[in-house]
Amino acid sequence: MTSRTAACACGALTAACEGEPEVISLCSCRNCQRRTGSAFGLVAIFPGEAVAVSGAGAIFAREADSGSTTTFSFCPSCGSTVFWSRSARPDVVCVAVGAFADPTFPMPVRTVYDEHRHPWIGFEAASRL
């Protein structure tokens, strides 16, 4: 079985994930752009029981467009977002793909909020998802 560990920049907050994610998604919403400081966010969604968290994280909660609550867990020392949960799907843990720092991590299989994607992004694969 595949094991991967996501970590913040300083290594104090980790999420050890067993098995393959249910889905990997590229999100171009404005909130993901702000959260990541990038043009999009990448998320790997795992069953909750497949994720073991280590370290103390701070949280930030916000209302999603759907009306549900998304609660982000980030490192209070370095500020990196490692994972989050959604009230609409309490059975899963969403893990920031970048926190794995693994260039062999599988590519996204879906995209969301494409209407907010920056036109200069040449992520050709996203249009085929």
- Indicate if the pLDDT at residue 123 is higher than 90: no
Task: Provide mean pLDDT across the span 6-18.
Answer: 98
Which amino acid appears at position 70 of this protein? T
Task: Provide mean pLDDT across the span 35-41.
Answer: 91
Element (H, E) at 5: strand 3-7
Pull the structure tokens for residue 79: 């500020």
Backbone angles phi, psi at 93, to 5 degrees: -120, 130
Backbone angles phi, psi at 27, to 5 degrees: -115, 130
pLDDT of residue 45: 98
Note the pLDDT tens digit of each residue in 68-107.
899 999 999 999 999 999 999 999 999 999 999 999 999 9
Contact 61, 114 (CB under 8 A): no
Rounded CA separation 50/22 (Å): 11
Altogether, the residues listed in the chain come to a count of 129
- pTM of this prediction? 0.90
CATH fold label, 3-128: 2.170.150
pLDDT of residue 122: 65
Which residues 6+ apart lie within 8 Å of 10 measured at CB?
75, 77, 78, 80
The residues spanned by each domain of the chain are 3-128
- Indicate if the pLDDT at residue 125 is higher than 70: no
